[in-house]
Amino acid sequence: MAETANLTESQRRGALTHPDVTDHAEVNRDILKMLSAPGKGWWALFGLAVLGVGIFFGSWFWQIYRGIGVSGLTSPVGWGAYITTFVFWVGIAHSGTLISAILFLFRAPWRQSVYRVAEAMTVFAVMTAGMFPLIHVGRVWHAYWLIPYPNQRYLWPNFRSPLVWDVFAVTTYFTVSAVFFYLGMIPDMAAARDQAKGLRKKLYTIIALGWRGTDRQWHHFSKAYIFLAALATPLVLSVHSVVSWDFAVGIVPGWHATVFAPYFVAGAIFSGVAMVITIVVPIRKIFRLEAYLTTKHFDALSKLVLLTSMIVFWAYLTEFFMAWYSGEPPERQMFWNRLFGHYWWATWIMLICNGMVPMMLWFKRVRHSVPALFAITIFINIGMWFERYVIIVTSLSHEYEPFAWGVYRPSIVEMGILLGSFAWFGFWFLLFTRLLPPVAIAELKEVIPPKLRGKKSGSAPATDAELSGDVAPAPAGD
């Protein structure tokens, strides 16, 4: 039975990414400890989030009461901060699926520690993004018209419209990522159930669905997980492509470009991975997870940020080049206007935050410095919001006829909703860190070498050198 003794490749590599974690029971203790009574810091943040959620719904109710006129949206700019923020949050969501599905299929050895946080981020970011079309339509009580349903007048949505595609893409994305998130959590909920007491035990018993960890359950679970990852991978690429087609299918100068789909997907992953770092840094600090989230994880994440930053910056340059190379005066004027027109500051924030600041990640010292990474990713989050603002607002404000040009300024209500959306996201995220294990327990164990008795005659477990893959492991069987 050489099968067990020969550690699989991922286990060996995992032993290198988490060198200080060696025992399976220790993982349960460390991670489930996070679910105990929250500290003062958590309550302070939660209070802030509740306040922000109040601002969010307060602003929205004011808009519902007074009408969409309280926003700055008016001719010619009919899409403003709401759609910008929608695209921003959908983009944030993408890296979660990237880390949980795409890196799972590629067997990236470092994803285990961060993927649960990233996946939770996906679900909550899509939940946040999903609010914005509802806010944006103004008369929210008609929002169900977006969904095809049998009705008296035999009316159906226009399936040729990218906006209807978007409804399908975003709802599918939310459903699949929520299912994926929940499914991955079932075994961890069982682990939490087995150690919890009182009310929490009841709660986890329900969420764990009676999971026992039998061979049969794991066998089907592993397969189902692979298939879900394989389905989520094209889905994540499609969702932001569809979002980009909301713009690219229109003929507005600055929108009508074939580069939009890959450009948006790269931007989404860029902003999302940056957001993962922004979120993971405080979690690691508060819950003392230094053994689970090592510099190796931050290094890998920052390399992803660097790569996608270069793709995004390349796309910016391509857009400017194509505008010049096309020889089309409206297109050229559009991009000149972006750089030096009314919204020049937004464009420069975008270029500096997304193209230049991340270049610091070329240096290993920066990639290994947690405070530096935190600061850089905040810049990226800001830059990526402005990217969408630039695309949407500068294009619409200088659309076709010069007499119809205009200027859009977000109103205080829109600002409140934008600010509140971060609180709404944070509200769910904070609840998540206290109720569900924020680090995937079962997946982490997969990359921690199992306890082996070693040779049948002796009873000494395998040595550390064997476990870390420095020497070929001795066969354990006869």
Partner 1 sequence: MAKGILASFDYLDSACDAIEELRKAGHTDITAYSSYPEHALEHALGYGQSPVRVWTLVGGLTGTATGFAFTSWTSMDWPLITGGKPILSIPAYVVIAFELTILFGALSTVIGLFINSRLPNPIPPVVYDPEFSAGMYGVYVQSEKLDTVRAILQKHEPEEIREGAYA
For the segment 226-245, give every residue that binds partner 1 (CB under 8 A): 227-228, 231-232, 234-235, 238, 242
3-state secondary structure of 74: strand
Count of residues binding partner 1 (CB under 8 A)? 74
Cβ atoms 127, 171 nearer than 8 A: no
For residue 71, the 8-state DSSP code is S
Listed ranges 68-76, 125-133, 209-217, 362-370: which one lies at the site for partner 1 (CB under 8 A): 209-217
147/137 Cα distance (integer angstroms): 14
Q: Given candidates 66, 202, 223, 288, which one binds partner 1 under the rule CB under 8 A?
A: 223
CB of 378 to partner 1, least distance (A): 33
Find the binding residues for partner 1 in span 141-160 (CB under 8 A).
Answer: 148, 154-160
Residue 125 interacting with partner 1 (CB under 8 A)? no
Find the binding residues for partner 1 in span 433-462 (CB under 8 A).
Answer: 441-443, 445-446, 450-454, 456, 459, 461
Residue 54 interacting with partner 1 (CB under 8 A)? no
Cβ atoms 275, 120 nearer than 8 A: no
Tokens of 60: 């929205």
Q: Which is nearer to partner 1, 177 or 337 (CB)?
A: 177
Q: Distances in Å between the alpha carbon of 304 and those of 238, 269, 300, 471?
A: 20, 9, 6, 31
303/341 Cα distance (integer angstroms): 34
H helix or E strand, kind and range, residue 294 = none
Find the binding residues for partner 1 in span 241-300 (CB under 8 A).
Answer: 242
Tokens of 129: 């993004």
Q: Given candidates 25, 199, 251, 472, which one binds partner 1 under the rule CB under 8 A?
A: 25
Residue 168 interacting with partner 1 (CB under 8 A)? yes
Residue 401 interacting with partner 1 (CB under 8 A)? no
CB of 456 to partner 1, least distance (A): 7
Q: Which is nearer to partner 1, 85 or 177 (CB)?
A: 177
Residue 210 interacting with partner 1 (CB under 8 A)? yes
Residue 364 interacting with partner 1 (CB under 8 A)? no
Q: Which is nearer to partner 1, 323 or 442 (CB)?
A: 442
Tokens of 13: 């590599």
Amino acid at 414: E
Q: What is the DSSP string of 400-421?
A: S-GGG-------HHHHHHHHHH
Q: Which is nearer to partner 1, 233 or 397 (CB)?
A: 233
Which residue, 89, 117, 57, is CA-closest to 425?
A: 89
Residue 5 interacting with partner 1 (CB under 8 A)? yes
For residue 352, the 8-state DSSP code is I
